[in-house]
Amino acid sequence: MTQDKVSFPALPTPVPVARFSASDDLRAAIGLWAAWLSGERRSSAHTVAAYGRDLAFFLDFLTGHLGEVPSLAAINRLRPGDFRAFLARRAQDGIERGSLARGLSVLRGFLRFLQRRGLADTAALAALRSPKLPRSIPKPLTIEDAAGSLDVAAEVATRQWEGKRDRAVLALLYGCGLRLSEALGLTRSEARLGEMLAITGKGGKQRLLPVLPAVRQAVADYLAACPHRPAKDGPLFVGRRGGPLNPRVVQRQMAALRASLGLPETATPHALRHSFATHLLGAGGDLRAIQELLGHASLSTTQRYTSVETERLLAIYDAAHPRAHLDWQDLDRQSDFVIPAKAAIQKPESAGGATPGPPLARGVTN
Residues contacting 207, CB < 8 A, separation 6+: 198, 199, 201, 292, 293, 295
CATH number, position 241: 1.10.443.10
* Least trusted range by pLDDT, from 17-31, 53-67, 147-161, 303-317: 303-317
Across 10-14, average pLDDT: 79
Residue 1 lies in a domain: no
Q: How confident is the model at residue 363 (pLDDT cuts 50, 70, 90)?
A: very low
Specify the range with the lowest mean pLDDT, choosing from 227-231, 281-285, 290-294, 344-348: 344-348
In 134-286, which ranges are continuous DSSP H helix? Answer: 143-152, 160-176, 180-184, 213-225, 247-261, 269-282
In a domain, 136, yes or no: no
Residues 313 and 190 in one domain: no
User: Which amino acids are annotated catalytic?
Assistant: 179, 202, 270, 273, 296, 305
How many domains does one find in the chain?
3
Same domain, 191 and 235: yes
Do 297 and 205 sit in the same domain of this protein?
no
Higher pLDDT residue, 295 or 215?
215
**Are residues 107 and 22 both part of a single domain?**
yes
CA dist., res. 167 & res. 223, Å (int) = 12
Q: Tell me the average pLDDT across 40-63.
A: 91
Residues 224 and 302 in one domain: no
Instruction: Identify the domain containing residue 343 by its residue range.
Output: 284-362
CA–CA separation, 366 and 363 (whole Å) = 9
Mean pLDDT of the chain: 82
What is the per-residue pLDDT across 204-244, written as a single tens digit (0 to 9) for each? 788 889 899 999 999 999 999 999 988 888 899 999 999 99
Among 279, 301, 323, give the residue marking a domain's end: 279
Has residue 63 got a pLDDT over 90? yes
Cα-based angle 158, 162, 163 (whole degrees, multiple of 5): 75
- Of 262, 279, 296, the one marking the end of a domain is 279
Over residues 252-261, mean pLDDT = 93
Which of 229, 175, 221, 182 has the alpha carbon at shortest distance from 201? 182
Residues 192, 264 within the same domain: yes
Query: Is 4 among the domain residues?
Result: no
Q: What number is the average pLDDT over the span 179-205?
A: 85
9 within a domain of the structure (yes/no):
no
Do 155 and 258 fall within a single domain? Answer: yes
Q: Are 192 and 164 part of one and the same domain? A: yes
**Residue 118 domain-assigned?**
yes
Q: Are residues 209 and 120 in the same domain?
A: no
Residue 6 lies in a domain: no
Looking at residue 13, its pLDDT comes to 86
User: Based on the domain organization, do 264 and 328 belong to the same domain?
Assistant: no
Q: Is the peptide bond before 9 cis (omega within 30 degrees of 0)?
A: yes
72 pLDDT band, cuts 50/70/90, is very high
| Res 315: pLDDT | 64
DSSP class of residue 76 equals: H
78 pLDDT tier (thresholds 50, 70, 90): very high
Among residues 127, 153, 181, the one where a domain terminates is 127
pLDDT, tens digit, 9 for 90 and up, residues 105-134: 999 999 999 999 999 988 888 878 777 766
Predicted confidence (pLDDT) at residue 268 exceeds the cutoff of 70: yes
Kindly state whether residue 335 falls inside one of the protein's structural domains: yes
In contact, 196 and 14? CB cutoff 8 Å: no
pLDDT of residue 5 exceeding 70: no
